[in-house]
Structure 1
Amino acid sequence: MSILLIEAFYGGSHKQLADLLQEEIEECVLYTLPAKKWHWRARTAALYFMQTVPANANYRYLKGMKKLCNYGFSLPSSQLYLFGLDPFCLLKQRRLCISWILFASSVLNLTELIALRPDFGKLKKVLYFHENQLTYPVQKCQERDFQYGYNQILSCLVADIVVFNSAFNMESFLTSIGKFLKLIPDHRPKDLEKIIRPKCQVLHFPIRFPDVSRFMPEHKLAHLEKITGFRGNEDTYLFRCLPFQQKYRATGSLMKTSSSSPESGLCEAQSGLCTTQQERLQYPLTSLEKLNKSKASASTNQEVPCQEDKQHVTFNPCNLLSGTDYQQRPLHIVWPHRWEHDKDPESFFKVLLKLKEMDLPFHMSVLGETFTDVPDIFSEAKKALESSVLHWGYLPSKDDYFQALCMADVVISTAKHEFFGVAMIEAVYCGCYPLCPNALVYPEIFPAEYLYSTPEQLFKRLQNFCKRPDIVRKHLYKGEMDQFSWAALRGKFRSLLTTEPREDL
């Protein structure tokens, strides 16, 4: 192993990235803490990892050993023995010197960890920012909140390379350092932005897009068939992709995409690269006949696919597929974000309640992870909007999650805090029409057509979509998603995690 991955908040996008790097990059070892009580992870994770990560003599990167290795490799092999140097030993030692890298997210106080574990000090240290605390929208500003942003600044000073998942994340952090440090009453440090900026770079969060064609509802597949010209028989579908979707083999491995038409933006199947679906569609009840059978089954107290438990309203295809034509079905709105105040669920539910007051038809799925403190608005909204709910709660199964996204029409963000937005990109990948604030990272990710500036604009867009859901169901996304795929970013991450340590050590 050569890469030490440390994740102090092992959940959500943090977990997704850590798992991806461990699976895709050779010789990684991962140490984590569960994604609970974020503030305590930021305060105490360094002490935990100081005791948990075992000591390893190979972590020690000695200046003398590097000079010896460099000097040895500048000599012919025949002369190495004259100096008592074994070339095979040198090769091994040189590899140990240059291969160890410490990769951690910015939740970890890297400064504390390096002080507590001097053997880590000589490693190349890469700090990855999923978010930054200098611009985090706290509910109540208190003096103790200062420590989180301050710790991230210190971690940047200790790190060799600082990586941000978006340009917005990087610039909002760097340009806020000066203002943030003015909170210090006196003896303020100077020019920290100038010191940190040369270490910084943007490397988008990599997403490993799965094959979701088996989850696509009939109307999406029919639309793709119409515009691509690909048709399968009654039992077989040729594999096809969304306008921005990577192709996968049946095993899930990535396939190369052909050149796309600049007008349609569609991926075209290459000869020999199409796969066949052994089953027409995995998603149930794609015809009125099957729907009627399901209702009959329910009336006789047989097994029913739509049940409710104490915590969640399960995904309900019976309600979703009501009607003989998909164009007659209500608009399906999905909100797939963390259940926390920085995602501004209040604004989202306020808009939906207004739609309900106007008797506009819509369905909704509220997904996303929950943590210790859940805003009260969720229980209130669930009660008020219960008749429109198809699913309510976190879906731990990736298949279930992507299935829910594939069945939705519109994905909404009302976030006050977003530096990348994995959930939004995944939903768009699954064919959802995105509506995002014209702020934060969203203008960097999505074309202007999908941005709104006020809650009133969001309401008007949804009002029109509720009246004419066919507008979004026939729409082809006009942005690019390939740039966020692991296939596109793999080489950059490998390069980041294989370069040599600092020369000044």
Structure 2
Amino acid sequence: MHFLFIEPYYGGSHRVFADSVVRHSQHQWTLMTGKPVHWKWRMRSSALDFAKQADRGASEESPWDALVCSSMLDLPTWRGLTKRVELSCLPTAVYFHENQWMYPDSPDARSDHHYGYTNLLTAIAADGCLFNSRFHLDGFLDAAKSFVRRMPDSVAIHDFDSLKEKSQVIAPGFDPWTIKRQQANQAGTTLRIGWVARWEYDKRPDRFVEFLRLLDRAGVEFNLVLLGKRGNHDAPALTQIRQHFGNRILFDDFVESVDEYRSWLEQVDFVVSTADHEFFGIAVCEAIWAGAVPVLPNRLSYLDWADDEFRYETLGEAVSIVQRLADWQQREQAAQRARQRIATLQTPNIVTMFDKSMEVMAGKPNKP
């Protein structure tokens, strides 16, 4: 089969997933991509851009069997702008890496529900909706229902039962690699704490600072590996970490090279998340694969693939996880348990599931 994949925001997890599908799928793919900048403009302009591209790229003799797009595409608008009927009638799956209703608002942010409603209309227009976690699927449906209930009319025309029925969870997964991790960080050596998230508000790096202070007060010796994407200006939390724990930082930068990034992951003993928001968590999975023990909030998408022993309710409990596994032998055993838990999330397995879902969709009749 031959599928069309439209990814308006070809960067980060969006790019990783699209590339993984093209690389591991047994089917043929045409990949159309946009720049990973100015996400609001991508959502507004990409329908017109990719309608024109698809019109030019469609083959009269061999049209695509189905379409996949990410939730950054305004699907109803794209369908309306295509000039070729066979394109507007393609069976379509939307992959939701995120939606614009569930991000926690930063203190100075103003809510704009237009983008969330665009996500909802795209989901309604699609033949199938794929979400990267159960947390995301359930949260999106709850947020959509909450928004629609507040509207002045046309509430009943939103068929959430049908939307739920055509939705499923397929994780984006992670690319495994051969681990070159050095000998375990044994007794008497300093523990290495890793941060792999974006240094942005929804990941709550301020809470990570508080975790480090609690760890320090508890007398735990630690060093830091600070990865994760940074903005144009350093996050206040990162500045505080440099001021208070500068002598403990082994590495502090965003790494472009995949090999270098993985080499730093392989030096981490504990990967810590303090996020208020996580739709899946590719970076944490990669750290676990590299041998780190996860220390994660007892919520969000982590419930899908991290066992209770690695989840905390309070930062004090997070510190306790580190203390409990300070012994290198117990830590190595725990790391193996965490690694086994995510083994099924390797991208070859995920893409096999994705292929099957697309095959079923392509076989469905889809009339204009």
TM superposition shift of 1:374: 5.1
- 2:59 corresponds to: 58
Unaligned segments of structure 1, at least 5 residues: 60-92, 221-325
Distance 1:495 1:189, change over 3 A: same
Moved more, 45-54 or 168-177: 45-54
1:163 corresponds to which letter in structure 2?
L
Distance 1:354 1:405, change over 3 A: same
1:146 corresponds to which letter in structure 2?
H
Distance 2:117 2:107 in 1: 18
- 1:18 corresponds to: 18
- 2:365 corresponds to: 503
2:355 corresponds to which letter in structure 1?
R
Deviations 1:98-145 (A, max 9, x none): x43211111222222222224331112110011233322122587652
1:503 corresponds to which letter in structure 2?
P
Partner SS state of residue 4, structure 2: strand
**Is 2:247 the counterpart of 1:387?**
yes
- 1:328 corresponds to: 188
The equivalent position to 2:348 in structure 1, one of 475, 487, 490, is 487
Question: Per chain length, whose mean CA-contact separation is higher, i.e. which structure has more relative contact order (CA < 8 Å, sep 6+)?
Answer: 2
Distance 1:22 1:449 in 2: 36
Distance 1:185 1:391 in 2: 53
2:365 corresponds to which letter in structure 1?
E
- Aligned-residue sequence identity (percent) comes to 27
Distance 1:343 1:476 in 2: 23
2:238 corresponds to which letter in structure 1?
F
Unaligned segments of structure 2, at least 5 residues: none
**Is 2:147 the counterpart of 1:180?**
yes
1:216 corresponds to which letter in structure 2?
R
Deviations 1:370-419 (A, max 9, x none): 34565322223223221111111211111111111111100111111112
- 1:125 corresponds to: 92
Distance 1:392 1:409 in 2: 16
Aligned residues of 2:7 and 2:34 also touching (Cα < 8 A): yes
Aligned residues of 1:134 and 1:180 also touching (Cα < 8 A): no
Deviations 1:242-270 (A, max 9, x none): xxxxxxxxxxxxxxxxxxxxxxxxxxxxx
- 1:454 corresponds to: 314
**Which of 1 and 2 has greater Rg?**
1
1:121 corresponds to which letter in structure 2?
S
- 1:100 corresponds to: 65
- 1:39 corresponds to: 40
- 2:300 corresponds to: 440
TM superposition shift of 1:51: 4.0
The equivalent position to 2:336 in structure 1, one of 453, 462, 477, is 477
Distance 2:202 2:132 in 1: 18
Distance 2:70 2:203 in 1: 21
- 1:112 corresponds to: 77
Distance 1:414 1:442, change over 3 A: same
1:380 corresponds to which letter in structure 2?
Q
Distance 1:464 1:491, change over 3 A: closer
Residue correspondences, number: 361
TM superposition shift of 1:192: 2.7
Alignment root-mean-square deviation, CA? 2.5
- 1:294 corresponds to: none
Distance 2:48 2:165 in 1: 29
2:183 corresponds to which letter in structure 1?
E
TM superposition shift of 1:462: 3.4
Distance 1:501 1:149, change over 3 A: farther
- 2:31 corresponds to: 30
**Is 2:83 the counterpart of 1:145?**
no
TM superposition shift of 1:483: 1.5
Distance 1:131 1:195 in 2: 20
Partner SS state of residue 201, structure 1: strand
Distance 2:110 2:263 in 1: 44
1:103 corresponds to which letter in structure 2?
V
Aligned residues of 1:349 and 1:381 also touching (Cα < 8 A): yes
- 1:430 corresponds to: 290
Deviations 1:284-307 (A, max 9, x none): xxxxxxxxxxxxxxxxxxxxxxxx
Distance 1:116 1:149, change over 3 A: same
Distance 1:158 1:410, change over 3 A: same
1:482 corresponds to which letter in structure 2?
A
Aligned residues of 1:410 and 1:432 also touching (Cα < 8 A): yes
